[in-house]
Amino acid sequence: MMIPEKPSFDPGLTQQYTGAITRAINANGQFNVKRSGITWRDSHPYLFLISVRWPAFFAIVTACFIVVNTLFALAYVFFGDGEIKGAEAPTAAERFLNIFFCSAHTLTTVGYGNMYPHGIAANIIATFESLVGLLAFAIATGLVFGRFSRPSARIAFSKTMLIAPYQNGISLQFRMVNRRSNNIIDLNVRVVLMTVEMLDGKLQRRFRPLELERSDVLFFPLTWTIVHPINEASPLFGLTHETMRMLQAELIITLTGFDETFGQTVHSHFSYRYDELIWGARFKPAFEIDAQGEIRLDAGMLSETEPAALP
C-alpha cells in the first residue's frame, strides 16, 4: 500500500471504512447515500417540487387540482339540492359532475355564469374556495417560475478517464463539455483521489487532492481536458491497474462556474472508479475549424479515444 506524503483530509465522505461501496458519487452527480430515519417534518415540499422531473411535477399539480375540486364538490353536495343553480341533471352522477365543473370555475375564477352558488352555505363555500384558488395558483406560478429560473449546469463528462502520454511522461486525463448554449465563465475544477488503505491496523479511506496542469479557465465554449501529470510527487506514481483495484480507487471531481445567463454560480459533481480508466489512450479532437474559419464543436466526440503508447 502506498504511504501518503501529505496528511489526508476528509472532504465530507468520512474516513471510516465499514465496507466496500460501489462508488461515492453516482453517474447522475448525486452522492451514493440512502437516508433513513427521516420523518415528514424533515421533508420540504418546495425542495421536492422544484427538483422533481417535469412529467412528475405536472402529474402532481393535476392530481392536486382534481382532488381539491372533488372535495369542494362534495361540500356543495353535502348542503343539499338547489345550492348550485344550473347544475340540475337527470342523474345524481351527472349532477355531481356539473357541481365539480362549477367548483373548477370557482377555483380558477373563470365564472362562465351557467352555474352559480345560491344560498348562504354555498356562497360561503364558494368564497373560501376562491381564496384557496388564489393562494394555490400563486404557489403554482412561483414553482413554475422557480423551475424555469433555477440555474442548472448540463456538464457532460467523458465516459472514461485515460492514462495518456504527457510531455516526457504520463498523465491522468478526462474531458468535459457544456452541452447547453449558455456561457459559463470562471470555472474551477478539483480532483480528489479516494482510496482504502490499512492504517494503524484497520482499513480507512484516504483522500488526496491531485495537482492539475490547469485547474481553472476563464471561458468554457469548447471541451476542456483536465490533466494531472503523474510524476514522483503524484499519489498515482507507480500505481498499476491491479494496485488501484486493491485500493478501491475512485477519483472525485467537483466543478464550479458562473452562469452568465442566470447570474448565479453552478456546480457539477462526478467520479470515476479504477475500472473506468483506460491505460494507453488519448482523446480524439472534438472540434475543428471549417472552411469559413468558424470553430465546429462535436459534443458527441467527447468520449472518443484512440490508442497511444505509454513511455
pLDDT in tens, 136-184: 999 999 999 888 887 767 899 999 999 999 988 999 999 999 988 888 9
Write out the three cell numbers for 22: 460501489
Domains, the chain: 42-149 (1.10.287.70), 155-307 (2.60.40.1400)
Angle at alpha carbon of residue 101, lines to 99 and 103, rounded to 5°? 70
- The percent of residues in the chain predicted with pLDDT above 70, rounded, is 95
Number of Cβ within 10 Å of residue 255's Cβ equals 23
**For residue 242, what are the contacts with CB-CB under 8 A and spacing of at least 6?**
none
**What is the pLDDT at residue 1?**
46
**What is the pLDDT at residue 302?**
94
Q: Which long-range contacts (CB under 8 A, 24 or more apart) does 294-297 make?
A: 295/221, 295/222, 297/177, 297/221, 297/222, 297/223
Given CA atoms 125, 130, 131, 132 in this order, what sign does their dihedral have?
positive
- Please report which confidence band the pLDDT of residue 3 belongs to, taking 50, 70 and 90 as the band edges: very low
β-pairing, 277-279 vs 161-166, is: parallel
Q: Which of 102, 107, 80, 104 is nearest to 92 (CA)?
A: 80
Whole-model pTM? 0.74
Could you report the per-residue pLDDT of 97-148, keeping only the tens digit for each? 999 999 999 999 888 888 888 888 889 999 999 999 999 999 999 999 888 8
- pLDDT at 196 > cutoff 70: yes
